[in-house]
């Protein structure tokens, strides 16, 4: 990542109060401002997990909106394949992210699992938004 890009991202992060969630294939993904504020104010791991849960619900709403928009915009013969693809993606996401948690890992594992679910959901929502 170039210096001007890093500076621009820093300015965006400071001005919008968004957390950089991850970078994948040169694309940058952010969490919501509400998550940023919630996680800053979380006093313990339970509070932080509540922030993660609220963010996952928020990102899931965006995913569902983008899925419905995509379903409306594609030809009828492609809808069944997109529906099957989405169901397979959900299974993939859930299985991938479940590997981050084990009952012996306590709340740290739950936070890692939730972070994975959020990140994968943000990426998929973006993919659907740019599919057609």
Q: Check if the beta carbon of residue 23 is closer than 8 Å to that of residue 85.
A: no
pTM beyond 0.85: the answer is: no
**pLDDT tens digits along 79-88:** 999 999 999 9
Which H, E and C letters describe 96-118, residue by residue?
A: HHHCCCCHHHHHHHHHHHHHHHH
pLDDT band at 8 (very low <50, low <70, confident <90, very high): very low
């Amino acid at each position: 990542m170039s210096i001007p890009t890093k500076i621009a991202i820093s300015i965006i992060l400071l001005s919008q109060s968004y957390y950089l969630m991850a970078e994948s294939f040169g694309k940058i993904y952010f969490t919501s401002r509400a998550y940023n504020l919630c996680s800053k104010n979380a006093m313990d791991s339970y509070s932080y997990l509540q922030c993660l849960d609220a963010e996952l619900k928020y990102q899931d709403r965006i995913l569902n909106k983008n899925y419905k928009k995509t379903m409306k915009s594609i030809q009828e013969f492609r809808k069944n394949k997109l529906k099957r693809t989405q169901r397979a993606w959900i299974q993939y996401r859930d299985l991938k992210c479940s590997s981050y948690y084990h009952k012996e890992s306590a709340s740290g594992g739950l936070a890692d699992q939730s972070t994975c679910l959020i990140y994968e959901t943000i990426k998929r929502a973006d993919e659907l938004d740019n599919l057609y």
